[in-house]
A = this chain, B = another copy of it.
């Protein structure tokens, strides 16, 4: 099952917890694991707090300091998004989460988020694969 996410900024965290829980609920699977995988080399999937959305902004600032957007990257001669690729490779395109009672098992402060690293884009694809226990 693949769904699509739109981003409106160059970099942005987009909460997809509810979308994935809806797909889980429709699947009828009550217990197992759920793999959430984005099909792009300049986006990623992370889990963290979204109750204070400033955490997402702090997160982007911090990774941009650790991995600068511009640093004479070789790939920037072809396509100006080397830093987006590097950050996506470090963060990884997927998370695998336990499932109980037909829902993602997440802590109180955990949300599932797509990290847009080279937006805005209208067509970020996310695959949800559910494995029954």
Q: Which residue of B lies closest to A88 (CB)?
A: B48
**A75 proximity list for chain B (CB < 8 A):** 52, 54-55, 58
Do the beta carbons of A98 and B37 come within 8 Å of each other?
yes
25 residue pairs of the A-B complex, CB under 8 angstroms, read A33-B35, A33-B96, A35-B96, A35-B98, A37-B96, A39-B107, A40-B110, A41-B47, A41-B107, A46-B90, A47-B93, A52-B78, A54-B74, A54-B82, A55-B75, A58-B82, A58-B85, A59-B89, A62-B83, A92-B95, A93-B110, A96-B96, A98-B127, A98-B129, A132-B133
A positions within 8 Å CB-CB of B: 32-33, 35, 37-42, 46-49, 52, 54-55, 57-59, 61-63, 65-67, 71, 73-75, 78-79, 82-83, 85-86, 88-99, 105-107, 109-110, 125, 127, 129-133
